[in-house]
Amino acid sequence: MLILAGLGNPGAQYARNRHNIGAMTVDAIADHWRFSAARSRFSSLAREGEISTASGPVRTLILKPQTFYNESGRAVGDALAFYKLSPADLAVFYDETDLAPGRFRMKTGGGAAGNNGIRSIAARIGPDFRRARMGTGHPGHKDLVHGHVLSDFHKVDAAWVGSLIEACSGPALAYLAAGEDERYQAEVMRLAPSAKLDPRAPAKGASAG
């Protein structure tokens, strides 16, 4: 079984924030793959279904934690414990200020790089889970990060945001479900190439969550 968690803050006022791109993505995944309707489980909105891969369907649980972003570990940890899964059975989609807008990188393990949602999950289950890092850019100074991630995407961002979410949630997801994270990353970036993206925000900076 695979768990896909999308980080964000609950409530309509946060729905279009940069901090919520992970939550937007798992909603798109559940819709694309025709998962069940959402229900409350594990302090989250949860949807169940299957992702088709070359070797067969992979049973998958979508989690959109309804804790606040910085407490995501509680929801994710409860789900892994219930199903007796390991951190390797979890992939977390979240915003990454260390990546330029529209860039996408997969990694397993490592530090939190200042992201409090990732720190919360690592504190609960350990660091060795899979991370789908969705670039939202950096505002240029660490003191501006908090306001940056808690502000809505601009209208000019709509094209790359939609392209990245569509690439992450569509057929390429079969590679992630099959454990082929590098191939998934390559396919997402092929479908949402960085050359078409807004280059305004610098790629480097301290992440915040």
184-209 pLDDT, tens digit per residue, is 999 999 999 764 444 444 444 333 35
Confidence at residue 206, expressed as pLDDT on a 0 to 100 scale = 34
Q: How many CB atoms lie within 10 A of CB 28?
A: 19
Residue 112 DSSP code:
-
Prediction pTM value: 0.92
For the chain, the average pLDDT equals 93
State whether residue 13 is helix, strand or coil: helix
Burial of 45 (C-beta count, 10 Å sphere; 0-12/13-18/19+):
buried
Over residues 29-44, mean pLDDT: 98
H or E element that contains 116: helix 116-125
pLDDT at 2 over 90: yes
Tokens of 79: 């789900």
Over residues 61-73, mean pLDDT: 97
Which residues are the active-site residues?
19
pLDDT band at 63 (very low <50, low <70, confident <90, very high): very high
pLDDT at 87 over 80: yes
pLDDT at 119 over 70: yes
Confidence at residue 194, expressed as pLDDT on a 0 to 100 scale = 62
Distance of alpha carbon 166 from alpha carbon 42, whole angstroms: 26
Domains and CATH numbers, the chain: 2-196 (3.40.50.1470)
CA-CA-CA-CA dihedral for 155, 156, 157, 162, to nearest 10: 80
Over pLDDT 70: what percentage of the chain?
92
Nearest Cα to 99, choosing from 51, 147, 134, 53?
A: 134
pLDDT digits (tens, 9 = 90+) for 163-187: 999 999 999 999 999 999 999 999 9
Is pLDDT larger for residue 113 or for residue 22? 22
Over residues 38-58, mean pLDDT: 98
C-alpha angle 202-204-209 in degrees, rounded to nearest 5: 105
Confidence at residue 193, expressed as pLDDT on a 0 to 100 scale = 76
Nearest Cα to 7, choosing from 101, 61, 103, 72?
A: 72
